[in-house]
Chains A and B, each alone.
Chain A
Amino acid sequence: MRDVAVIGVGETEFGELWDRSFRDIGIEAGLKAIQDAKIRSEDIDAVYIGNMSAGKFIDQEHVSALVADYAGLADMHLPTVRVEGGGACGAIALLQARLAIASGMYDIVVVGGAEKMTDVGEVQAAEILSSTADQEWESVFGATFAGLYAMMARRHMYEFGTTREQMAAVAVKNHKNGALNPEAQFQKEITIETVLQAPRVAEPLGVFDCAPLSDGAAAVVLCEMQKARKFSDAPIRIAGSGQASDFLALHDRRDLTTLDATVIAGKRAFHEARLQPKDVQVAEVHDNFTISEILAIEDLRFIEKGKGGPATAEGLTALNGKISVNTSGGLKARGQPVGATGVAQAVEIVRQLRGEAGKRQVVGARHGLTHTLGGTGATAVVHLFERGD
Chain B
Amino acid sequence: MAIPRFWREIQSRYNLIGTKCGSCGKVDFPPRAVCPVCGRKSIGKMERFRLGGKGTVVTYTVIHDAPAQFEMQKPYVMAIVEMDEGVRLTSQLIDVKAENVTIGMKVQASFRKLGQEGEAGVIHYGYKFRPAA
The chain A residues found within 8 Å of chain B, CB to CB, are 123-124, 126-127, 130, 136-144, 146-148, 150-152, 154-155, 158, 199-205, 247, 249-252, 256
Given the known interface contacts A123-B68, A143-B78, the answer about A154 and B63 at a Cβ–Cβ threshold of 8 Å is: no
- The number of inter-chain residue pairs (CB within 8 angstroms) is 97
Per the 8 Å Cβ criterion, residues 40-95 of B in contact with A are: 58-70, 73, 75-76, 78-80, 88-92
B61 contact set on A, CB distance < 8 A = 147, 150-151, 154, 202-205
Please, which residue of chain B has its CB at the minimum distance from the CB of A210?
Answer: B65
Please, which residue of chain B has its CB at the minimum distance from the CB of A136?
Answer: B9
Residue pairs across A and B with Cβ atoms less than 8 A apart, 6 shown, are A123-B68, A124-B68, A144-B63, A146-B63, A201-B64, A251-B89
Could you tell me the distance between the alpha carbons of A139 and B78 in the complex, rounded to whole angstroms?
11
Asked whether, in the complex, the Cβ of A141 is within 8 Å of the Cβ of B62, the reply is: no
Given the known interface contacts A155-B103, A201-B64, A256-B59, the answer about A142 and B88 at a Cβ–Cβ threshold of 8 Å is: no
Asked whether, in the complex, the Cβ of B65 is within 8 Å of the Cβ of A126, the reply is: yes
A247 contact set on B, CB distance < 8 A = 36
Could you tell me the distance between the alpha carbons of A137 and B127 in the complex, rounded to whole angstroms?
11
Could you tell me the distance between the alpha carbons of A249 and B88 in the complex, rounded to whole angstroms?
10
A123 contact set on B, CB distance < 8 A = 67-68
Asked whether, in the complex, the Cβ of B92 is within 8 Å of the Cβ of A154, the reply is: no
Asked whether, in the complex, the Cβ of B88 is within 8 Å of the Cβ of A251, the reply is: yes
Please, which residue of chain A has its CB at the minimum distance from the CB of B30?
Answer: A137
Asked whether, in the complex, the Cβ of B80 is within 8 Å of the Cβ of A127, the reply is: no
Interface mask (B1-14 → A, CB under 8 Å = 1, otherwise 0): 10000000100000
Shortest beta-carbon contacts, A-B, top 7: A150-B61, A155-B59, A251-B88, A203-B62, A151-B59, A200-B64, A251-B80
Could you tell me the distance between the alpha carbons of A123 and B70 in the complex, rounded to whole angstroms?
11
Asked whether, in the complex, the Cβ of A141 is within 8 Å of the Cβ of B92, the reply is: yes
Partner of B62, one of A130, A148, A202: A202
Asked whether, in the complex, the Cβ of A141 is within 8 Å of the Cβ of B90, the reply is: yes
Given the known interface contacts A138-B90, A154-B60, A202-B62, the answer about A147 and B78 at a Cβ–Cβ threshold of 8 Å is: yes
Please, which residue of chain A has its CB at the minimum distance from the CB of B64?
Answer: A200
Asked whether, in the complex, the Cβ of A155 is within 8 Å of the Cβ of B62, the reply is: no
Given the known interface contacts A146-B65, A200-B62, A202-B63, the answer about A151 and B80 at a Cβ–Cβ threshold of 8 Å is: yes
Question: How many residues of B are counted as interface, with CB atoms below 8 angstroms from the partner's CB atoms?
Answer: 35
Asked whether, in the complex, the Cβ of A144 is within 8 Å of the Cβ of B65, the reply is: yes
Q: Chain A nearest CB: distance from B4 CB in Å?
A: 13
Asked whether, in the complex, the Cβ of B58 is within 8 Å of the Cβ of A142, the reply is: no
Asked whether, in the complex, the Cβ of B60 is within 8 Å of the Cβ of A151, the reply is: yes
Known contacts A154-B60, A202-B64; 15 further A-B pairs (Cβ under 8 A)? A137-B90, A138-B90, A140-B115, A141-B114, A143-B63, A143-B90, A144-B63, A151-B60, A151-B80, A154-B59, A200-B62, A203-B98, A247-B36, A249-B90, A251-B88
A141 contact set on B, CB distance < 8 A = 78, 90-92, 114, 126, 128
Could you tell me the distance between the alpha carbons of A200 and B76 in the complex, rounded to whole angstroms?
12
B73 contact set on A, CB distance < 8 A = 142
Could you tell me the distance between the alpha carbons of A148 and B78 in the complex, rounded to whole angstroms?
9
Could you tell me the distance between the alpha carbons of A154 and B105 in the complex, rounded to whole angstroms?
14
Q: Chain B nearest CB: distance from A121 CB in Å?
A: 9
Could you tell me the distance between the alpha carbons of A149 and B11 in the complex, rounded to whole angstroms?
29
Asked whether, in the complex, the Cβ of A126 is within 8 Å of the Cβ of B67, the reply is: yes
Per the 8 Å Cβ criterion, residues 93-133 of B in contact with A are: 98, 103, 114-115, 124, 126, 128
Could you tell me the distance between the alpha carbons of A305 and B59 in the complex, rounded to whole angstroms?
19
Q: Chain A nearest CB: distance from B93 CB in Å?
A: 10
Asked whether, in the complex, the Cβ of A250 is within 8 Å of the Cβ of B65, the reply is: no
Asked whether, in the complex, the Cβ of A252 is within 8 Å of the Cβ of B78, the reply is: no
Q: Chain A nearest CB: distance from B108 CB in Å?
A: 16
